[in-house]
Chains A and B, each alone.
Chain A
Amino acid sequence: MTDTSPSLLPTAAPIRRGARSVGRILLGFSGVAALALAWDLAIRFGGRTLLPSPAQVAAAIFELTRQGFLVRHVVASLFRVTWGFLLAVLLGVPLGIWLGWNRRARAAAAPLLELLRPISPLAWIPIAILWLGVGDASAIFIIFLGALFPITLAAMNAVAKVPEIYFNAGRNFGLTRTDLVRRVIYPATVPQLLVGLRLALGIAWLVVVAAEMIAVNSGLGFLIIDARNAGNRYDLVVAGMVLIGTIGLALDAAIRRLERSRAVRWGFAAPASPAPRRPRLAPAR
């Protein structure tokens, strides 16, 4: 039953498709440009001489690249994220699947998980340093912790939501338990799992930056703290922030790409098919 009810959102007038994407890109840039402009003006007239202007930040980024530090810091941060994230996936996905499947295990573990989840990974820092010393291992451990809970919970919820009919169909066709996991549960949970992974990656990225401010000697988080401590180089600080934002965005976009791949697209609600073309709207009385 197609939804042919009218769309009454007071959006801009309908634009032809080709024009539409150009328009969108321009609008998108305008937003960022407006931000940069506001920033620049704020610095100029704000009277705070410590904070840098967009131009200074751009210069700082350039300087970092030239000196080769940019690559080094970015790689260091990415390295830690990758490790922490992978470890969290390796432990979290199977654990989550098991908990989603097994009601008793879930009942037993859920309160404990709910108790541990609100504890910021950074609160684990003293423990991490105690167990693993200062350095990469601690940072990776912190990231691992940060990513573990979202991934486990996502896997758990994804499995719990698999409709029973799928199980019945699988059993009807005589699948063994392993087969059931491989051919029914896993594919059925992948879309939701991907969303959980994307969120966890975002958290991991947030955490790595914070973890690096405290426990190591390289990486973007370290850059931010060090640039300030070692000489109030706020242009480098903000440069670091801009880089963090951009890379975080890129990581997020990468996984969203995955989410759009044909193999998993079925799991995501199709964008609402409106009255497919927008006719002239009758004005409100």
Chain B
Amino acid sequence: MKAAPAPAPGRVKVEIRGLAMTFGGDGRDVRVLEDIDLDVGDGELVCVLGPSGCGKSTLLNIVGGFLAPTAGAVRIDGEEVRGPDPRRIFVFQERGVFPWLTVEGNIGFGLSKLPPGQRAERIAHYVRLVGLTGFERAYPQELSGGMKQRVEVARALAVNPDVLYLDEPFGALDSITRLVMRAELLRIWEAEKKTILFVTHDIEESVQLADRVVVLSARPGRVQRIVTIDLPHPRDLSSRRYLELRDSIFEEIGLAHKI
């Protein structure tokens, strides 16, 4: 049973219809995604949640234009997605940062078409925004995992994209840093008001961040349920409503929440 895919009021930014993905080869076809319908509103933060292997990263890659789906289509602002586009930047885990460029170099990567003065200004703004002042000339190998992730987010934001895709961006970080980074992400999101599509396997993370959580089933991935998180930011992680929402998702996925 599908929940309505419609978002909160506001216009629809990303429209996914009838998406399906089958990986084939050697006669063994694997259906990874099936029948995905989803709308993401402008300025919304939507989490795609599911267990490993459910196809959520594949979904994100398709929406980002890096893979062509077997069926269905993705439209952004009414325009069909045909390939990767600088208007919609994908944030990988920390290994997306270019190791041969400094922090400045990375953040300015997409800005080569700007006149130098403007470029420098833009870079400085985003260095400040992600809290990396003082590290402009550092190379990624001198930075911690959390800092590298910030560089990648800054790099993505610097080109002023319409949409940001984040593929488990905090997966490689320790749990304390993860909490910090989530707060950072929300702060940036509120400052920049981007549309964000965020993939994670972490239930808590999804409830802490998202306006809506799209729960994908195990392979083949289908939209199992869409949970609207009606908590205002900043979210109290001990509030009853938070725990209710979290537990409902636990149950949805079929996990007991006692060890």
Contact = CB atoms under 8 A, between A and B. Distances in A.
Contact of A276 (B23, B83, B168): B23
A279 B66 contact: no
Contacts of A6: 61, 66-67
Interface in B96-148: none
Nearest to A1: B171
A275 interface: yes
Contact of B30 (A1, A17, A277, A283): A277
Contact of B66 (A8, A14, A276, A277): A8
Contact of A285 (B21, B57, B83): B83
A104 interface: no
B175 to A, nearest CB: 15
A283 B24 contact: no
Interface string B148-189: 000000000000000000011001100000000000000000
Interface residues of B toward A: which range?
Answer: 20 to 34
B65 to A, nearest CB: 5
B66 A282 contact: yes
B25 A4 contact: no
B85 A275 contact: no
A5 B92 contact: yes
Contacts of A278: 25
Interface in B47-98: 52-53, 57-58, 61, 65-68, 70, 81-85, 92
A17 B25 contact: yes
Interface string A263-281: 0000000000001111111
B251 interface: no
Given A4-B58, A6-B61, A6-B66, A283 B23 contact: no
On chain A, which size bracket covers the interface? 20 to 34
Interface in A105-151: none
B92 A284 contact: no
A24 interface: no
A281 B84 CA distance: 11
Contacts of B61: 4-6
A279 B83 contact: no
B30 A282 contact: no
Nearest to B29: A277
B25 A282 contact: no
B23 A277 contact: yes
B83 A282 contact: yes
A16 interface: yes
Contacts of A14: 25
A277 B83 contact: no
Contact of B68 (A276, A281, A285): A281
A17 B85 CA distance: 33
Given A4-B61, A277-B30, A282 B70 contact: no
Given A8-B66, A283-B83, A16 B26 contact: yes
Interface in B1-47: 21-26, 30
Nearest to B167: A5
Query: Which residue, of A2, A277, A280, A284, has the highest number of chain B Cβ atoms within 10 A?
Result: A277
A14 B58 CA distance: 18
A272 to B, nearest CB: 13
30 contacts: A1-B168, A1-B172, A2-B52, A4-B57, A4-B58, A5-B61, A6-B61, A8-B66, A16-B26, A17-B26, A275-B23, A276-B23, A277-B23, A277-B30, A278-B25, A279-B24, A279-B67, A280-B67, A280-B68, A281-B67, A282-B65, A282-B66, A282-B68, A282-B82, A282-B83, A283-B83, A284-B83, A285-B65, A285-B84, A285-B85
**5 smallest beta-carbon distances between A and B, as pairs:** A277-B25, A6-B66, A277-B23, A285-B83, A282-B68
